[in-house]
Structure 1
């Protein structure tokens, strides 16, 4: 019986890892497409992904909006979809409740236009829930 439970656990972990890998691949593809659409450099996109908002220009702000649209964080009316953000966004170690609090707070951000609105929401979230220092870097072997 313990053996069956152990096998079931291993399968569950493998499925969860596969789903996470697929989610990361989709996010990377969305980032690539949005960088092309908005004229954002790969370096600028990577900085934003890691929570570095230095030198964020209008293209970078529209990059965030594009990513939010593709991820489902913004609906067709440019309204933040908090439930989807909560289910998809990660952050540094911390509680689920802290993430929910941050998203609820940051969803209230505004901007002069749709790009700035999405950017301000993302910047607020990353200020509240920082990206882990090793985020997006290869794991040492």
Structure 2
């Protein structure tokens, strides 16, 4: 399966990652899928920009976000980590800052934060990088 990471927040294309990083992403996806019980079709659709308002998908995205370091266990967004990852993809610090300001907004729950942030990145990133 071709994997791209937005996660919550890290819009980093897999092609730019090392083999070790690719393996970590696959492992995170597998662990979070098992933990959340998310329907794999919902993940496939989200990769194409169709984000279902589904609790298991939201839990999957939060799990992935924590493992990738984009959110802590309390659900707080780790903006420094996001900035590093996003800027590596976008290669434009001003655009990265604008995207973080617009999208990295804490919501009522950590799961909502992960979901809304990833969806916002997908909709507002110039490359429409898909999620893991």
State the TM-score, normalizing by the size of structure 2.
Answer: 0.71
Aligned to 1:58: 55
How far off is 1:90 after superposition?
A: 7.4
State the TM-score, normalizing by the size of structure 1.
Answer: 0.67
Is 2:125 the counterpart of 1:122?
Answer: no
Q: How does 1:1-141 map to 2 (within 5 A)?
A: 20-53=18-51, 55-89=52-86, 95-111=92-108, 113-129=109-125, 130-132=127-129
Number of aligned positions between the proteins: 116
CA distance in 2, matches of 1:98, 1:18: 19
**What is the Cα-based RMSD across aligned positions, in Å?**
2.8
Cα distance change on mapping 1:23 and 1:100 into 2, 3 Å: farther
The structure having more radius of gyration, on CA atoms, is: 1
**Other structure's SS at 1:75 match:** coil
CA distance in 2, matches of 1:90, 1:41: 31
